[in-house]
A and B are shown apart, each in its own frame.
Chain A
Amino acid sequence: MSRSAVTDSRPQSQQVKGSGSLLRWRLTRLIGPSVLLGPAGLWLLLLLVVPVLLILRISLVPGLRPEQAITNYGLDNYLQILQPTYLRVLLRSVTFASGTTALCLVVGFPVAYWLALIAPKRWRNLLLVVFILPLWTSSLLRTYAWITLLRTSGVINLVLSSLGLPEQNLMNTTGAVLVGMTYSFLPYMVLILYASLEKLDLRLLEAAADLGASPNVAFWKVTVPQTLPGIAAGGLLVFVTSLGDFVVPTLLGGPSSMTISRLIYNQFLGVSRNWGFGSALSIVLISAVSIAIALLLKYGDRNPDGFS
């Protein structure tokens, strides 16, 4: 932090003091920001910003392998992503992410609504904590739990066959990935929707009812528009998290569910060892996530706050 860059945040009266304290104040102006903001900023710069810029550079080196010198630049890695095989991978990732977002919204909204508006007031906090408690446990083992349920000799098939129904092949399907991802990210959605619904002004619903709106109409015309910022934020969080998820598609999706994060993983730790291509994929993933967030920031602020 350069000294000139620091503008004063303290009241005028404090600056008009004796020369000794003025000197001390000037020193503090220099030392304070650099002690407070310096170490963390440096760390993020060194281990996040520089590395991301580095893979941006490497993504422009066609087919760079580890420990290979950079000789020429080009867009070959990005053009490779446009091949049908890899476009299918991108499409699959987006499908998984949007499917998960939709499922989380459909399942999460009624739960959040019940928690925020219907459940007994004194239990609300506890009920919410119980709902998001699974987030505190290992995401690997929560996904592993679904293997126990879904596999061919798993619990669901055991129940099915004891009912005299045919066994189903549930593992390594799109359905398994969607269920696993929804299970993993539903608590985030409920948490955000709850925060949004909790602030809902119930008088608006009463007014709507007094003016003759049916509960159904009141829900779509009052509740949903009022909680739209929460819906957008929750949807974005789930979309972004599931787009970059690695664990669920790998464990529940099997070899046919190749996603962008698995593809990136393979370029570095798998057999492919193509750092250039992997970096290009990472840049595409980062860009997709950033664009989604920028869109939310741009349009998400148009919430109907003036309404309440």
Chain B
Amino acid sequence: MSIQTLQKKVSWQGLFALLVYGFMYLPILVLGVYSFNKSRYGAIWEGFSLRWYRRLFQDERLFAALGDSLKIALVAVSVSAVLGTLMAIGLSKYRFRGRSLYLGISYLPLIVPDIAIAVSTLVFLASVAIPLSIWTAIAAHMVFCLAYIAVVVSSRLSGLDPNLEEAALDLGATPTQALVKILLPQLMPAIISGCLLAFVLSLDDLLISSFTTGGGANPLPIEIFSRIRTGVKPDMNALSVLLILSSGLLAAIAEYLRCKGSNQAIKG
């Protein structure tokens, strides 16, 4: 019996996969449809309306929250891009005593549950008497942002040709020149897609922000959480649609970069 007949026998999986795709997109579709529903309560369709979008754009509190979130994410991600990339390069370059400990610590933010990170950071900040503000939130976000960026950059580093950098050094480039002119251009797609990942995670974070912003800032997830906790709000449907569209765009960019990066890796 050949693979073809084997595949024919298990093609129920195609149908099943279709169902699961439906399961993944049904809730999003429902939100999309109801964001245009005139009705405030209930699931009954009462006609097309843009009132929830209009209301959303007049919602200054929500815009302020979005501003806080973007500020936290942008600052945390840009600093983490530098620190995380340097860390990934350092870990691939040097073998030293305690390297595995360092490596283990660099994976911790990916492993330790958010709630535990959030709680520990709060306790730490309280113990050194640093008042909570948007800056403490940025500092806390940097912890996981730099870890994720380092992981993405590391995986790209392991696929690179080390001879290129050594050739540059042999030809008289300083280590800094070799880093900036040889290594960084090759790492750029990975750095950017790592940054996008960190950016999305930072914008999505509820727990760490809840514990580290205090009254100093009100990031979007905290604002959304406090609103949807008490039930269905039609303007949140409209917000979902807008956020999903914009993150879809981000995902498309990230995937494009990832594909471009892996094509380059194959060529190199």
Contact = CB atoms under 8 A, between A and B. Distances in A.
Interface of A: 1, 5-7, 9-11, 14, 28, 32-33, 35-37, 39-41, 43-45, 47-52, 54-55, 58, 66-67, 107, 110-111, 113-115, 117-119, 125, 129-131, 133-134, 136-142, 144-149, 151, 153-155, 157-158, 183, 186-187, 202, 205-206, 209-210, 215, 218-219, 240, 243-244, 246-247, 250-251, 261, 264-265, 268-269, 275, 278-279, 282, 285-286, 289-290, 293
B215 to A, nearest CB: 13
A255 to B, nearest CB: 12
B248 A47 contact: no
Contacts, number: 280
B17 interface: yes
Contacts of B126: 66-67
Given A45-B105, A183-B23, A55 B251 contact: no
Contacts of A148: 27, 30-31, 34, 43, 232, 237
Nearest to A11: B166
B10 A250 contact: no
B13 to A, nearest CB: 4
A271 to B, nearest CB: 15
Contacts of A131: 21, 24
Interface of B: 1-3, 6-7, 9-11, 13-14, 16-17, 20-21, 23-28, 30-31, 34, 41-44, 82-84, 86-87, 89-91, 93-98, 102, 105-106, 108-109, 111-117, 119-124, 126-127, 139-140, 142-143, 146-147, 150, 166, 169-170, 175, 200, 203-204, 206-207, 210-211, 221, 224-225, 228-229, 231-232, 236-237, 239-240, 243-244, 247-248, 250-251, 254-255, 259
Given A55-B123, A111-B17, A33 B90 contact: yes
Contact of A244 (B31, B44, B83, B113): B113
B231 to A, nearest CB: 8
Nearest to A13: B170
B124 to A, nearest CB: 4
A233 B234 CA distance: 39
A interface, over-half SS? helix
Contact of B24 (A50, A115, A186): A186
A58 B111 CA distance: 21
A215 B4 CA distance: 11
Nearest to A209: B1
A44 B108 CA distance: 9
B13 A110 contact: yes
Contacts of B20: 107, 110-111, 186
B84 A140 contact: no
A95 to B, nearest CB: 17
